[in-house]
């Protein structure tokens, strides 16, 4: 059976269906919700990076009229389990992490006491009225320093601050020894703050008369949170409902079952009142996961012909003071993808994961893979410079070729399919690379510093399940239910939980494509665990490749059902039917026709006249899991000018060519790239969560932490290629993280290319004016 | 925003506002204008005033007025209003400065009076106020008085405004003949405030030499200042860009730069020279009438 694609189906540049409501202020976020009688939770946080907690005197706080309760960590631990800590980590011990600190605080911002009061202002006043005796201890914030023998130890139950050590890869010693040349470098991928526009928040409402707990959460994974809350609260999962209303960004930082959300739910159960907690911006900067925080020492072995024969990293990964849900996974992903887009036969990473007196780290857009791309792309530029080769030429000599897929890397990853050179050549053509190099040479003669930076980045999306994990484990499958209403409109209930990705629109397009209807006639329901029994959530660029594929499979099944029923009603063989314009018609006699709505209405009416075995409603559910990660790739080219007088960097052009596999909606794909590029450029030039040596955060507000704004960004030149993936039925590739993966190396390579004539070899992000100015001054001296 | 508790009053007239202040214990009231500095401080509970006197409804504090003595700008005039005011068309430095303050939302609410009265060491207007030799108009129980720009800033976050007084506006003399002024700034990347901000005014004589120079600097010292050493060097000198650069290169002896994460003292000092040079070059171009429209700033 064939059908003509409806307007707005797969591939259409449909304006986002989400936008009209959001743009006119019709969004509804957790803080917009009110339940009569709700109390407000506030957390008293540690001002110390490391201290022993002595006596806590909350009597003055408890005496304030309107304060319902005050809890300390020790009081809480009597009825609340510890937080999940490095879920699924095998063979290594994890420190105990409680919702509120017990006996010791280990980072500035760690919760020490919780207050429940009738309003937020009073709750904060009560926090201020709590007296805590702290005995400050020496703190350590630098992960290398934390490894020293004499460093203050965070978790005395563990051995030193070494969280775990792991080697991923094959043997590199021999290949490095045999290399023509070994290029060495040290690169820092700095600690940054996710800074979602909407901070975290929760509203928990226990209704005793029906023994039901509803938790509205600013989360990206409601089903995951339902499971975790049920486990942590010892509350029956089938009586727990988690709802993600509109969510203003998550970027990986809203996957973790945090203390505050758990406390809101626990205290709602205990006090039998609704409890709301809304994070303030400063709390977000202290208590929501930080990200990146990896440093590598690189050894790259090069042959005489400019090909790489070996790559070794010693990777120091800063876990922060505790593990969040999957903190430990970041460096493992970095190791798995360390060879990037290149054919390098010997590669290994020795991971050293370290605890420090800082906010715990966890995913952020590009988790592990952005670090990998940055390290290998910086390595390529460094190698090119030491060999006196154009960085483009070096990349061409080492890039995995179109005919080499599937390609197994020495670090245990298999690139399922790809065409890395395609994006590279398209980006070069758009720039006119040779012309840009000539212009650069000309301007250098008049004292102007132009730089051209390349990133031929590779990453991966849509993780498969990892069997055998304990505690917090994320599964790789996703689930969708698609059904047809008797009037002919459709609904899709999905297990992913979009919050900015445009998945409502693309899901509607996928269903529209399968059923031959308009996307506007498809309602996409998500973010409510009562609407779909099981799901996983939105993370790791999986919503389209995994979730969208589940939707596609369910919609296809639904179409098969509808076709069978239409054939039955028209008394025709199914293969004679064509689905177009909202109905089925006989290919040979188009006058013989039945609308989709009539088919659906018939199914709804009852089982009297249905084909054998068909149920009386048109509905299909499908589960999909990729057998392997989908390989994602692109080439970014950045052209900058450095102002040598002040050290300021200006981006003149930014070209991003990324492969979407199959762009269900090119406008949505481009939007995803724009957002990611903003964040990637932010990391390259602006952002850094800095601590002083005593563990005090120096950039815990927007007055000190530079997050990118429109004025900091160039006009993006975005192009898409479409090389179908082999691991999902849509042929789609992840795109959500392409910007944060590609931009940091492209920008940093460009700036260092600009500074090359001065002899500046490397600078670590962020490339602030002061840092660039100082490097220029020192190079000239 | 979770501030500590405060009383809120919104007087309709200056007299009423003074009465409100008079009823408060000294030091316990805060004046709220645009709120662009005070509200963040309240939110973080850095500021805990017992009473917030919202002067936003006092009509007498609004408006820009040209008169025989020069021009008067009401304390509640916003940065956005200064960006497009027709009365300031012959003083492009106002639009040039307003445009590099924060972002449109802040510019729509933040006020000139608020910026001067708060006296943040990295605020932009103090540099312009100093370079143009303005006067602050104060009103208090003992009546009105004026304070010259150079006497206005008394310390970090400190001004000559008495605890019982209100800044009602600022006054600038008429633009001298053959004069040009400009503002050049390097932004702190997070806050958008001035790592270094330099406002300069040059007045040329009939022969085209520099008759008078005045330079106001913000973001460098704890207190904004006039760069008298540079001004003296410039006075009487030839008015060509090379001479200006040479004068800047000799340094500004009044500078006692702060050092922080965003700019160490030596980097700030270097930036001061760069932006003094840029502000002077642009002021010169305007004095010569070649770029008086304020269109050529590159900050």
Question: Is A704 in the B-facing interface, judged by CB distances under 8 Å?
Answer: yes
Query: What is the topology classification, in CATH, of domain B179-287?
Result: Enolase-like; domain 1 (3.30.390)
Which of A703, A712, A766, A767 to mutate: most B Cβ within 10 Å?
A703
Classify A571 as helix, strand or coil.
coil
Q: What is the pLDDT of residues A129-155, one digit of tens each?
A: 999 999 999 999 999 999 999 999 999
Pairwise CB contact (< 8 Å): A768 & B186: no
Q: Closest Cα partner for B271 from A768, A299, A34?
A: A768
Strands B166-172 and B70-74: antiparallel
Q: Which of B103, B189, B270 sits opposite A686 (nearest CB)?
A: B189
Q: How far is CA B59 from the centre of its chain?
A: 22
Pairwise CB contact (< 8 Å): A774 & B5: no
Instruction: Count other C-beta atoms under 10 Å from residue B168's C-beta.
Output: 22
Pairwise CB contact (< 8 Å): B189 & A645: no
Contact A323, A94 (CB under 8 A): yes
What Å distances lie between residue A744 and A318, A342, A366, A664, B34, CA to CA? 19, 18, 11, 27, 38
Q: Which of A646, A704, A705 sits opposite B274 (nearest CB)?
A: A646
Contact A100, A82 (CB under 8 A): no
Instruction: Count other C-beta atoms under 10 Å from residue A227's C-beta.
Output: 20
What Å distances lie between residue B122 and A479, A494, B116, B156, B198, CA to CA? 54, 51, 11, 10, 11
Domain A2-27+477-624 has CATH 1.20.1630.10: no
Q: Closest Cα partner for B94 from B296, B240, B294, B299?
A: B294
Q: Which of B40, B186, B191 sits opposite A646 (nearest CB)?
A: B186
Cβ neighbours of A704 in B, within 8 Å: 190-191, 261
Q: What are the sequence ranges of the domains in chain B?
A: 7-55, 179-287
Q: Closest Cα partner for B275 from B213, B202, B217?
A: B217
Classify B137 as helix, strand or coil.
strand
Evaluate if residue B82 carries a pLDDT over 90. yes
Question: Is B264 in the A-facing interface, judged by CB distances under 8 Å?
Answer: yes
Question: Is B262 in the A-facing interface, judged by CB distances under 8 Å?
Answer: yes
Tokens 């143009």 appear where?
Answer: B132
Contact B200, B213 (CB under 8 A): yes
Question: Is A773 in the B-facing interface, judged by CB distances under 8 Å?
Answer: yes
Q: Which of B44, B267, B274 sits opposite A770 (nearest CB)?
A: B267
Q: How far is B266 from chain A (nearest CA, A)?
A: 10
What is the reported pLDDT for A609? 82
d(CA A141, CA A357): 5
Pairwise CB contact (< 8 Å): A699 & B190: yes
A392-409 average pLDDT score: 98
Question: Is A686 in the B-facing interface, judged by CB distances under 8 Å?
Answer: yes
Cβ neighbours of B274 in A, within 8 Å: 645-646
What is the reported pLDDT for A159? 80
What is the reported pLDDT for B297? 40
Q: How far is A644 from chain B (nearest CA, A)?
A: 11
Pairwise CB contact (< 8 Å): B262 & A645: no
A85 band by pLDDT with thresholds 50, 70 and 90: confident
Q: How far is B145 from chain A (nearest CA, A)?
A: 35
Domain B7-55 has CATH 3.30.43.10: yes
What is the reported pLDDT for B299? 41
Contact A754, A638 (CB under 8 A): no
Question: Is A520 in the B-facing interface, judged by CB distances under 8 Å?
Answer: no
Strands A490-494 and A522-525: parallel
Which of A650, A704, A710, A768 to mutate: most B Cβ within 10 Å?
A704
Q: Which of B4, B190, B263 sits opposite A702 (nearest CB)?
A: B190
- Scanning chain B, the segments in alpha helix (DSSP H) are 14-23, 38-43, 79-84, 92-99, 104-109, 112-118, 125-131, 149-152, 228-234, 241-249, 265-287
Q: How far is B257 from chain A (nearest CA, A)?
A: 15
Eight-state DSSP code of residue A209: G
Question: Is A63 in the B-facing interface, judged by CB distances under 8 Å?
Answer: no
Q: What is the pLDDT of residues B21-70, one digit of tens each?
A: 999 998 899 999 999 999 999 999 999 999 999 999 999 999 999 998 89
Q: Which of A124, A280, A706 sits opposite B190 (nearest CB)?
A: A706
A93 band by pLDDT with thresholds 50, 70 and 90: confident
Cβ neighbours of A698 in B, within 8 Å: 261
Domain A291-463+627-780 has CATH 3.40.50.150: no
Question: Is the ipTM beyond the 0.90 threshold?
Answer: yes
Q: What is the pLDDT of residues B15-27, one digit of tens each?
A: 999 999 999 998 8
Q: What is the pLDDT of residues A163-177, one digit of tens each?
A: 999 999 999 999 999
Cβ neighbours of A199 in B, within 8 Å: none
The mean pLDDT of chain B is 94
Number of A:B CB contacts under 8 A? 50
Evaluate if residue A347 carries a pLDDT over 80. yes
Half-sphere CA count of A520, side-chain side, radius 13 A: 4
Question: Is A771 in the B-facing interface, judged by CB distances under 8 Å?
Answer: no
Pairwise CB contact (< 8 Å): A773 & B267: yes
Q: Closest Cα partner for B193 from B101, B82, B99?
A: B101
Q: How far is B75 from chain A (nearest CA, A)?
A: 25
Q: What are the sequence ranges of the domains in chain A?
A: 2-27+477-624, 33-137+197-250+254-287, 291-463+627-780
Pairwise CB contact (< 8 Å): B262 & A770: yes
Contact A615, A554 (CB under 8 A): no
Which of A646, A647, A700, A774 to mutate: most B Cβ within 10 Å?
A646
Question: Is B63 in the A-facing interface, judged by CB distances under 8 Å?
Answer: no
A57-74 average pLDDT score: 98
Residues in chain B: 299
CATH class of residue range A33-137+197-250+254-287:
alpha beta
- Phi–psi pair at A481, nearest 5 degrees: -120, 125
What is the reported pLDDT for B290? 62
A468 band by pLDDT with thresholds 50, 70 and 90: low
Residue of B nearest to A648 (CA): B186
What is the reported pLDDT for A246? 97
Cβ neighbours of B263 in A, within 8 Å: 770
Classify A405 as helix, strand or coil.
coil
Q: Which of A120, A648, A698 sits opposite B261 (nearest CB)?
A: A698
What Å distances lie between residue A227 and A224, A250, A258, A364, A623, CA to CA? 5, 19, 14, 22, 19
A window 386-415, beta carbon within 8 A of B: none
Q: What is the pLDDT of residues A620-660, one digit of tens each?
A: 999 999 999 999 999 999 999 999 999 999 999 999 999 99
Cβ neighbours of B269 in A, within 8 Å: none
The mean pLDDT of chain A is 95
Pairwise CB contact (< 8 Å): B103 & A709: yes
d(CA A132, CA A113): 9
- Give A456-496 as a 3 state SS string: CCEEEECCCCCCCCCCCCCCCCEEEEEEECCCCCEEEEECC
Read off the tokens for B154: 């008394």
């Amino acid at each position: 059976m064939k059908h003509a694609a409806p307007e707005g189906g797969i591939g259409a540049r449909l304006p986002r269906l989400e936008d009209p409501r959001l743009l006119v202020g019709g969004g509804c976020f957790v803080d917009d919700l009110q339940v009569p009688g709700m109390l407000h939770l506030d957390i008293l946080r540690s001002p110390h990076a490391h201290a022993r907690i002595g006596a806590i005197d909350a009597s003055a706080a408890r005496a304030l009229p309107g304060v319902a309760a005050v809890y300390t960590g020790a009081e809480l631990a009597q009825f609340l389990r510890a937080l999940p800590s490095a879920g699924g980590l095998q063979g290594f011990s994890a420190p105990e992490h409680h919702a509120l600190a017990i006996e010791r605080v280990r980072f500035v911002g760690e919760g020490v006491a919780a207050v429940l009061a009738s309003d937020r202002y009073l709750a904060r006043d009560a926090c201020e009225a709590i007296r805590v005796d702290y005995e400050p201890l020496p703190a350590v914030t630098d992960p290398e320093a934390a490894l020293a023998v004499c460093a203050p130890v965070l978790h005395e139950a563990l051995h030193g601050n070494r969280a775990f050590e792991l080697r991923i890869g094959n043997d590199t010693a021999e290949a490095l020894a045999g290399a023509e040349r070994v290029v060495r470098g040290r690169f820092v991928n700095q600690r940054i703050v996710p800074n979602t526009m909407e901070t975290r928040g929760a509203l928990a409402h226990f209704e005793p008369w029906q023994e039901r707990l509803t938790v509205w959460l600013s989360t990206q994974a409601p089903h995951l949170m339902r499971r975790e809350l049920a486990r942590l609260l010892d509350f029956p999962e089938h009586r727990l409902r988690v709802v993600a209303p509109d969510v203003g960004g998550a970027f990986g930082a809203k996957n973790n079952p945090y203390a505050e959300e758990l406390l809101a739910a626990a205290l709602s159960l205990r006090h039998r009142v609704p409890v709301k907690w809304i994070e303030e911006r400063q709390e977000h900067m202290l208590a929501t996961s930080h990200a990146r925080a990896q440093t590598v020492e690189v050894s790259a072995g090069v042959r005489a012909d400019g090909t790489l024969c070996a790559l070794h990293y010693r990777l120091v990964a800063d876990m922060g003071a505790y593990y969040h849900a999957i903190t430990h996974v970041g460096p493992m992903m970095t190791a798995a993808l360390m060879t990037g887009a290149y054919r390098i036969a010997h590669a290994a990473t020795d991971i050293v994961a370290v605890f420090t007196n800082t906010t715990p780290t966890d995913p952020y857009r590009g988790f592990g893979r952005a670090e990998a791309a940055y390290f290998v792309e910086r390595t390529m530029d460094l190698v090119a410079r030491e060999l006196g080769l154009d960085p483009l030429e070096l990349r061409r000599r080492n890039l995995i070729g179109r005919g080499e897929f599937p390609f197994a890397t020495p670090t245990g990853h298999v690139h399922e399919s790809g065409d890395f050179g395609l994006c590279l050549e398209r980006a070069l053509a758009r720039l006119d690379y040779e012309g840009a190099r000539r212009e650069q040479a000309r301007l250098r003669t008049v004292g102007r510093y132009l730089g051209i930076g390349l990133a031929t980045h590779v990453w991966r999306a849509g993780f498969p399940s990892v069997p055998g994990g304990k505690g917090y484990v994320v599964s790789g499958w996703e689930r969708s239910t698609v059904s047809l209403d008797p009037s002919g409109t459709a609904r899709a209930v999905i297990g992913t939980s979009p919050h900015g990705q445009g998945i409502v629109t693309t899901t509607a397009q996928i269903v529209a494509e399968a059923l031959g209807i308009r996307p506007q006639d498809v309602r996409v329901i998500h973010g409510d665990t009562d609407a779909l029994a099981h799901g996983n959530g939105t993370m790791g660029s999986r919503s389209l490749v995994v979730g969208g594929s589940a939707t596609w499979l369910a919609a296809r099944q639904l179409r098969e059902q509808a076709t069978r029923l239409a054939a039955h009603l028209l008394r025709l063989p199914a293969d004679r039917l064509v689905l177009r314009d909202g109905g089925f018609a006989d290919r040979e006699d188009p006058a013989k026709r039945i609308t989709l709505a009539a088919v659906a209405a018939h199914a709804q009416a009852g089982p009297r006249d249905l084909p054998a075995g068909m149920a009386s409603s048109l509905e299909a559910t499908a589960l999909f899991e990729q057998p392997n990660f989908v390989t994602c790739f692109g080439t970014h080219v950045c052209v900058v000018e450095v102002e040598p007088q002040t050290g300021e960097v200006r981006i003149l052009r930014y070209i991003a060519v990324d492969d979407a596999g199959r762009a269900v909606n090119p406008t949505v794909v481009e939007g995803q790239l724009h957002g990611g590029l903003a964040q990637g450029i932010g990391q390259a030039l602006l952002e850094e969560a800095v601590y002083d040596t005593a563990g005090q955060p120096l950039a815990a507000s927007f007055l000190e932490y530079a997050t990118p704004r429109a004025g900091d960004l160039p006009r993006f030149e975005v192009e898409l290629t479409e090389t179908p993936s082999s691991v999902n039925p849509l042929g789609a590739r992840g795109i959500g993280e392409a910007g944060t993966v590609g931009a940091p190396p492209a920008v940093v390579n460009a700036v260092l290319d600009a500074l090359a004539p001065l002899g500046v070899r490397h600078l670590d992000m962020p490339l602030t004016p002061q840092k660039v100015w100082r490097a220029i001054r020192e190079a000239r001296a | 925003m979770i501030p500590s508790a405060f009383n809120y009053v919104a007087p309709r007239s200056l007299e009423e506002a003074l009465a409100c202040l008079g009823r408060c214990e000294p030091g316990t009231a805060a004046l709220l204008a645009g709120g662009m500095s005070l509200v963040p401080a309240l939110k973080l509970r850095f500021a805990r005033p017992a009473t917030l006197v919202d002067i936003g409804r006092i009509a007498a504090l609004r408006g820009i007025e040209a008169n025989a003595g020069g021009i008067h700008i009401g304390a509640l005039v916003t940065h956005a209003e200064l960006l497009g005011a027709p009365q300031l068309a012959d003083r492009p430095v106002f639009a040039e400065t307003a445009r590099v303050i924060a972002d449109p939302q802040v510019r729509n609410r933040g006020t000139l009076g608020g910026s001067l009265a708060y006296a943040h060491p990295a605020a932009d207007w103090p540099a312009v106020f100093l370079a143009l030799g303005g006067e602050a108009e104060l009103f208090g129980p003992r009546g009105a008085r004026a304070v010259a720009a150079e006497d206005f800033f008394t310390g970090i976050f400190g001004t000559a405004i008495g605890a019982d007084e209100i800044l009602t506006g600022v006054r600038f003399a008429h633009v001298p003949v053959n004069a040009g002024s400009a503002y050049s700034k390097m932004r702190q990347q997070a806050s958008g405030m001035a790592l270094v901000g330099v406002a300069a005014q040059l007045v040329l004589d009939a022969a085209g030499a520099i008759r008078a120079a005045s330079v106001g600097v913000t973001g460098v010292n704890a207190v904004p200042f006039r760069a008298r050493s540079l001004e003296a060097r410039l006075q009487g000198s030839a008015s060509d860009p090379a001479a200006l650069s040479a004068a800047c290169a000799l340094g500004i002896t009044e500078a006692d730069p702060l050092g922080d994460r965003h700019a160490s003292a030596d980097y700030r000092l270097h930036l001061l020279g760069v932006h003094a040079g840029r502000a002077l070059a642009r002021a010169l171009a305007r004095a010569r009438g070649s770029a008086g429209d304020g269109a050529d700033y590159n900050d």
